[in-house]
Chains A and B, each alone.
Chain A
Amino acid sequence: MVCDLPRRTLLQLISGAAAGVSMPLAPSLAATNDAATIGWPNDVPSWDPNQRFTPDAQPVFKAVFDQPLDQDTQLKLIPHLIKTWSLAPDALSMAVELRDDVTFHNGDKMTTADFRYTFFERVKSGAKLDIANSMRKVQDIVIESPTQATMRFDSPAPTMPQWMAFLGSYIVPKHYIESSGFDNFLQKPIGTGPYKLAEYELNSRIVLERNDNYWGPKPKISRITVQIIKDPSARVAAIQSGEVDCTVNVPVREVQRFAQDNAFAAEINPITRVIMLNVRADLAFADKNVRLAAHHAIDKMALSKAFYGGVAVPLSVLATPGTPGYIPQFTFNYDPALAKQLLAQSGFGPDKPVKVGFAATNGQFPSDYDIARAIVGMWKTAGIEADLQVIEYAKYFELNRGGKLPEATLYSWDNATGDPEIFSGYQLNPKMPFSPWKDEDIGNRVLALFAVTDYDKRIAGYKELERYAVENGASMPLLQSVVTVVRKQNLGYQKYGNGWLLPQTLQWT
């Protein structure tokens, strides 16, 4: 691990140099064929799709399994395995009607028994599943017929339709798991998705073969190999040399270089992921002036230009452009003079700085540690002395649970649905483990919104909450995150607002 940084730096230097040398050798457009290889940064944590909320694994899961509801490219909810759904006005139940033409990869028909098994029986069995959190309000699922069922909740669940399309919500085969055992399912997973898992090698590759009996649109490419390449610069080398046809999450400067080459298409796409500071309501940040000063002192556009080529959109609320909770007319200004003024009101300044703790990951998302260091510099100018420490992402929840996070933590929050409950609602809910902000005022506002069943009122409420939280220093959104994609020019794909690159949308042109 000690050698990790220099090695990566060296690799980046070398791949950058490689670019110049090898440009004349850049691959011509790939011949149209029936296979494609994707260079992917992470393996799936497990073949149990309900187990972990891992955003990077979703495109692979969405190829093998199906979700009850889906999202279109603009993230609008659309029917999928659920044909129709009807949320009761009190949001205490939701009737669903499943498609009757769906089969699992082994030929078994998918029915409401599988739906109930996935979202109720497995959750209540005590299995350690991340969907236990999203399905915590499910009291029962009453089966009325093989295609009709009603979900009953112990408290209002107005966002249950969104959760039906969220990370981890994939229907798994009850009969197959119960008859052949769960270990067998992990070895030979089957779903109802457009691809079957043909081969899997831990930390190396995932081979998908088209499911010719798929109920929906058939994928254009029959065989997809997902090659796990963890190092971003190794992914650059792989796409450059033609070892893979498409890859994601390569450094921004490499994308800009690939964009000059006619053999490749290279894009930097803003997505529904927010980079922000998660803050505490106590310690040095108990003072609202200090919190607001800390926020006003950050030049978000400078961060975007320095680390994301200027394409990461600076944010003033905890929602991304195009999502329901976004407030385009509200801006929280970068104002170093005001920051100094606010600090002065609390008796601090560049000569007598307020001392705060600051935590950041290193390598969890692009340029995270560099962004943190830049913020430390900006704060220092205003009169905030930050003690920056690196934490492992894996320890975040443990530290937060133990109240051990410092005043501010640089964090990245992914919300594939774009719904404001999964942005501000979860981030500011003191009962949730995600944010260190534990405050009764904001907490009560959030909890009240969790019970609002009317969609328009709920969205309006969240907009008001987001603004209130930012104006009170409870929320410090920084940038809308981006995903980078480099592919061969003649390999097309469908672009989603949440950054998904789904194998079933790939096609040679």
Chain B
Amino acid sequence: MTATVVTLIARRLLAAIPTLLIVSALLFCVLRVLPVDPAAMSLPPNATIAEIEAKRREMGLDRPLPQQYAIWLRGALHGDFGQSIQFRRDAAALVAATLPATVQLAVAAMVIAGVLGFGGGLVLFRLRGTVLEPLADLVSIVLLSIPEFLWALILLFVFGVVLRVLPFTGEVAPGLPLPHITGFLLIDSLLVGRFDVFASACLHLILPAVALGLAFSPTTMRVLRSSLFDVYHEDYITQARLRGLSERQILLGHALKNAVLPTLTLAGVQFGILFSGTLLVEVIYSYPGMGNLMVDAVRNADLPLIQAVGLTYCIVVLLINTTVDSLYVVLNPKLRIR
């Protein structure tokens, strides 16, 4: 099985290369079409036309578009995305500084979405045919219709402003230090033995992660329930009943294993969307991640930074998809045989 998984990962990673190239080319071309002059915007307002022209040449903007793309791509492959116009700093360094916070948030949100999604799916399935089924259905539909930014606002209002039980600004309480080793605050605080920082970071993570998790769990709930419905029509479920297995044994030992496969595929797709969903949630909670950076970049038409953040999003989503595909192979023996 290990060889199959490794082969699959290698194949998926290879397949990701053309995808990345296409996405990067699209991103590059779309941003170049915008009526914005990165050379002029990189310089102070009093820059002369000659200085702007010189900057344009330096940035390669006087060359044909394919050549510009080639220059940018060569730089990107070496980790050089150019200078951010707004911050006048290395765009890659800005992304590197903010990516860990977003990954941390997205992973926490996905765990919450997974727990709520699977738990909720099982509850929905268990309530089938009961008087509570319409109510459960209604709740799942209501949950499905609330986007992540609205959850963020509701939670902020309830737990931050009214009840005042959870913090809602930043990554850690003001009086505490920020250890920097890996960039992941939860890990770094443990590495330096600052459990107070760890606890504070966890508290600050709760509201944004739950906001994202709540928004992405209902789809998982409903897909899991539908899959379980399908699986329960299979002959082996009837056979299991005839063998005298309890409903609980049937669900956990047979039905869930098979029903979970489409849910897992969905979860992979969801994680990609959830990662992009961090954008608004990070702004609402002043969370210092890549989404917050992207909003700044877009507001300031900071093309090098938009390209760097955009491509990073793409890479992360491709990596997530590869991981999910590998998990799929681990869980589905049919794919291993093929």
- Contact status B177-A199, CB under 8 Å: yes
Q: Which of A224-232, A329-337, A377-385, A499-507 contacts B (4 or more CB under 8 A)?
A: A224-232
How near does chain A come to B36, taking the closest CB pair, in angstroms? 6
**Minimal beta-carbon separation of A342 from chain B (angstroms):** 33
Q: Is A494 part of the binding interface, using a Cβ–Cβ cutoff of 8 Å?
A: no
Cα separation A474 to B247 with both chains bound (whole Å): 83
Give the nearest-CB partner of A36 in chain B: B174
Contact B288 A237 (CB under 8 A): no
- B86 proximity list for chain A (CB < 8 A): 45, 394
8 Å CB contacts to A: which residues of B10-53?
Answer: 35-37, 40-46, 49, 52
A128–B42 CB distance below 8 A? yes
Q: Which residues of A contact B269 (CB under 8 A)?
A: none
**B126 interface hit (Cβ, 8 Å):** no
A207: chain B residues at CB < 8 Å are 174
Which A residues are CB-close (under 8 A) to B284? 7, 11, 231, 234
User: Does chain A have a CB within 8 A of B261?
Assistant: no
B299 to chain A: which residues have CB within 8 Å? Answer: 1, 363, 392, 394
**B interface size (C-beta, 8 A):** 56
Contacts of A129 in B (CB 8 A): 44
Tell me whether B161 and A227 are in contact (CB under 8 A).
no
**Bound: A156/B1 CA distance, A:** 81
Which residues of chain A in 357-401 are interfacial with respect to chain B, using CB atoms and an 8 Å cutoff? 363, 392, 394-395, 397-398, 401
- Inter-chain CA distance A179–B94, complex, in Å, is 25
Do residues B301 and A433 form an inter-chain contact, with CB atoms below 8 A?
A: no
- Measured in the bound complex, the distance between the Cα atoms of B299 and A238 in whole Å is 23
Given A11-B284, A392-B301, A237 and B157 touching (CB < 8 A)? yes
With A46-B88, A203-B296 known to touch, is A234 a contact of B169 (CB < 8 Å)?
yes
Within 8 Å by CB of B97, from A10, A199, A202, lies A202
The distance from the CB of B148 to the nearest CB of chain A, in whole angstroms, is 10
Contact indicator B169/A238 (Cβ below 8 Å): yes
Q: A31 in the interface, Cβ–Cβ < 8 Å?
A: no
Which residues of chain B from 266 to 286 have a CB within 8 Å of any chain A CB?
280, 283-286
* Residue B262 interfacial (CB < 8 Å): no
Chain A residues positioned under 8 Å from B296 (CB to CB): 203
Contact in complex: B149, A3 (CB < 8 Å): yes
Do most interface residues of chain A lie in helix, strand or loop, or is the interface mixed? Answer: mixed
- The answer to the question of B150 belonging to the interface, with a C-beta cut-off of 8 Å to chain A, is yes
Cβ of A320 under 8 Å from chain B: no
Q: Which residue of A lies closest to B36 (CB)?
A: A395
Cα of A37 to Cα of B175 in the assembled complex, Å: 9
Contact with B along A316-357 (1 / 0, CB 8 A): 000000000000000000000000000000000000000000
Residues of A with C-beta under 8 A to B288? 201-205, 228
Q: Is B293 an interface residue (CB 8 A)?
A: yes
Q: How far is the CA of A45 from the CA of B88 in the complex (A)?
A: 8
Query: Inter-chain contact count A-B, CB under 8 Å?
Result: 154
- Closest-CB distance, A84 to chain B (whole angstroms): 30
Are the C-beta atoms of B44 and A14 separated by less than 8 Å?
Answer: no
* Alpha-carbon distance between A392 and B36 when the two chains are bound, in angstroms: 10
Chain A residue contacts of B119, Cβ below 8 A:
none
Please tell me if B118 contacts chain A, counting CB pairs below 8 Å.
Answer: no
Is A243 a contact of B44 with CB atoms below 8 Å? Answer: no
Residues A132 and B301 in contact in the complex (CB < 8 Å), given A11-B153, A228-B286:
no
User: Which of A10, A132, A136, A186 is B89 in contact with, Cβ under 8 Å?
Assistant: A186
Which B238-293 residues have C-beta < 8 A from chain A? 280, 283-288, 292-293
8 A Cβ contacts from A213-261 to B: 223, 225, 227-231, 234, 237-238, 240-244
Most buried by A among B37, B44, B160, B284: B44
Tell me how far the C-beta of A392 lies from the nearest C-beta in chain B, rounded to whole angstroms: 5
Instruction: Please state if B169 and A227 are interface contacts (CB–CB under 8 Å).
Output: yes
* Cβ contact within 8 Å between A3 and B280: yes
Asked if A398 and B41 sit within 8 Å, CB to CB, the answer is yes
Q: Which residues of B contact A132 (CB under 8 A)?
A: 44, 46
Query: In the bound complex, how far is the Cα of B88 from the Cα of A15, in angstroms?
Result: 35
Instruction: Check if A125 is an interface residue, CB within 8 A of chain B.
Output: no
Residue pair A46, B298 in contact (C-beta under 8 Å): no
Give the distance in Å from the alpha carbon of A240 to the alpha carbon of B156 in the complex.
12
Q: Are A17 and B153 in contact (CB under 8 A)?
A: no
> Do the beta carbons of B40 and A401 come within 8 Å of each other?
yes
Are A14 and B286 in contact, CB atoms less than 8 angstroms apart? no
Given the complex, which residues of A lie within 8 Å of B45, measured CB to CB?
130, 133, 397, 433-434
Residues from chain B with Cβ under 8 Å of A238 in the complex? 168-169
Please measure, in the bound complex, the distance between the C-alpha atom of A132 and the C-alpha atom of B85, giving whole angstroms. Answer: 17
User: Are the C-beta atoms of A230 and B286 separated by less than 8 Å?
Assistant: yes
Q: Is B87 an interface residue (CB 8 A)?
A: yes
- How many Å lie between the Cα of A241 and that of B207 in the bound state? 15
- Nearest 7 CB-CB pairings of A with B: A204-B288, A225-B174, A133-B46, A18-B161, A397-B45, A398-B40, A394-B300
Binding site for B on A (CB under 8 A): 1, 3, 7, 10-11, 14-15, 17-18, 21-22, 25, 35, 37, 39, 45-46, 48, 51-52, 128-130, 132-133, 136, 186, 199, 201-205, 207, 223, 225, 227-231, 234, 237-238, 240-244, 363, 392, 394-395, 397-398, 401, 432-434
Can you list 10 contacts pairing A with B, beta carbon distance less than 8 Å? Answer: A3-B147, A10-B149, A22-B161, A201-B171, A203-B98, A204-B287, A205-B174, A241-B161, A398-B40, A401-B49
- Taking A201-B178, A203-B286, A241-B160 as given, write out 16 further A-B residue pairs in contact, using a Cβ cutoff of 8 Å, ordered by the A residue number: A14-B157, A51-B88, A128-B43, A130-B45, A132-B46, A186-B89, A199-B177, A202-B98, A205-B174, A225-B174, A234-B285, A392-B300, A398-B40, A433-B45, A433-B46, A434-B45
